Amino acid sequence: MAKRAAPRGEKRPAARPHQHGKGRCLHILRALSAYIDDELSGTICQEIRLHLGACPNCEDFVASLRHTVSLCRHTSAPILASADRARMRENILKSARTR
């Protein structure tokens, strides 16, 4: 996969060289649900954003996680037909009286 430039255009401070070590990415991976759910403090968010801007793999990863959650949120479910609704009510009441 070709390396891309950080799309957000965020510049890392030179004093904090980006660690391409797996450990850094792993640390980010652990926090990603909290990150996309906006539950992290500003400092940690900033830290993650900086990493994402410099690490295409993690950036792809967070995008794919966001997509996954977004798909889950938008799935539809079948609607109960009114005949089924009435039949099930009868079944429940019958069981409630006999058992």
Partner 1 sequence: MPAVSPPHSPKDRSSAPARTQKNFDKLYRDHVDLMYRFANRLCGETEAAKDLVQETFLNAYRGFKNFRGDAQVSTWLYAIAARACLRMRRKRKGEPERELSLDEFIPTSEGEFRLQIPVDGLSPEEALENKELRQALDAAIDKLPKKYKMVLVLRDMEGVSAKEVGTIMGLNERAVKSRLHRARLFVRRELSARGVDGTTTTHAETYR
Site stretch for partner 1 (CB under 8 A), options 6-14, 42-50, 85-93? 85-93
Site stretch for partner 1 (CB under 8 A), options 13-21, 44-52, 78-86? 78-86
- Give the gyration radius of the chain's Cα atoms: 24
Residue whose CB is less far from Zn ion, 25 or 31: 25
Contact status, residue 62 vs residue 35, Cβ threshold 8 Å:
yes
Taking the CA of residue 88 as centre, how many other CA atoms within 13 Å lie in the half-sphere pointing to its CB?
6
From CA 91, how far away is CA 69, in angstroms rounded?
Answer: 36
DSSP single-letter state for residue 6: -
- Give contact residues for partner 1 (rule: CB under 8 A): 1, 22, 26, 29-30, 32-34, 39, 57-58, 60-61, 63-65, 67-80, 84-85, 88-89, 91-93, 95-97
- Give contact residues for Zn ion (rule: CB under 5 A): 25, 55, 58
